[in-house]
């Protein structure tokens, strides 16, 4: 769902991306306009790969709330290629699996940024600033020990058992 996260997109735009890849399982009617917005916002090409899946693509024991007929469409696709000014170059495809192609002129990105550059001359860093931490970080951080340490306790306990003092 990162394609819906404007701060993540801004971080990508600030890196000067020319081609934004937007894989998704989202097949709502609003997806195409969202991808046009991303292209226009970042003045970059957008390649969106949307999965097309039928019931027959899953194991037989998979129960679907959309129906269990083999030809039932579970995710209708919608892959597309958008230029830096939001024009659709290919797609959206809702017919089945396919390979979309388009000729991309990366100079179109440069030309589009003369009009608007979200992280360049229109960024207003005097007013707005995004801080991104790109350092590897653990997904879980604990604050302190659940056990109180006594002055003679080293804190080294097998299986995180509480310290035993005395007999």
Measured N-to-C along each axis, helices 31-42 and 6-14 cross at an angle, to the nearest 10 degrees, of: 40
Q: Is the dihedral of CA 17, 102, 76, 61 positive or negative?
A: negative
Going by pLDDT thresholds of 50, 70 and 90, the confidence category of residue 154 is: low
**Which of 75-79, 123-127, 147-151 holds the top average pLDDT?**
75-79
- Is residue 160 over pLDDT 60? no
pLDDT tens digits for range 93-138? 999 989 999 999 999 999 999 999 988 877 788 888 888 888 998 8
Confidence band for 64, pLDDT divided at 50, 70 and 90: confident
Q: At 161, is the pLDDT very low, low, confident or very high (cuts 50, 70, 90)?
A: low
**Between vectors from CA 18 to CA 45 and to CA 81, what angle results, nearest 5°?**
15
The whole-number pLDDT of residue 156 equals 59
Query: Burial of 61 by CB count in 10 Å (0-12 exposed, 13-18 middle, 19+ buried)?
Result: exposed
Cα–Cα–Cα angle for 49, 53, 58, nearest 5°?
135
Provide, rounded to the nearest whole percent, the portion of the chain with pLDDT above 90. Answer: 46
- 2-115 sits in which CATH class? alpha beta
Q: Tell me, rounded to whole angstroms, the distance of Cα 101 from its chain centroid.
A: 22
Torsion-angle region of residue 30: left (phi > 0), alpha (psi -120 to 50) or beta?
A: alpha
The answer, yes or no, to whether residue 15 has pLDDT greater than 90, is yes
Could you tell me the residue ranges of all domains in the chain? 2-115
Q: Is the pLDDT of residue 77 over 90?
A: yes
């Amino acid at each position: 769902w990162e394609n819906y996260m404007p701060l993540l997109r801004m971080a990508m735009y600030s890196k000067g991306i020319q081609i934004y890849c937007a894989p998704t399982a989202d097949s709502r009617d609003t997806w195409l306009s969202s991808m046009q917005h991303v292209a226009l916002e970042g003045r970059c090409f957008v390649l969106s790969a949307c999965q097309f899946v039928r019931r027959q693509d899953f194991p037989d024991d998979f129960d679907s709330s959309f129906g269990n007929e083999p030809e039932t469409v579970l995710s209708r696709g919608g892959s597309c290629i958008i230029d830096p000014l939001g024009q659709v170059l290919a797609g959206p495809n809702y017919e089945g699996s396919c390979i979309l192609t388009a000729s991309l002129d990366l100079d179109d990105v440069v030309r589009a940024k003369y009009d608007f550059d979200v992280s360049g001359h229109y960024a207003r860093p005097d007013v707005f600033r995004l801080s991104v931490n790109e350092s590897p970080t653990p997904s879980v951080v604990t604050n302190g020990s659940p056990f109180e340490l006594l002055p003679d306790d080293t804190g080294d306990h097998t299986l995180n058992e509480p310290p035993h003092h005395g007999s």
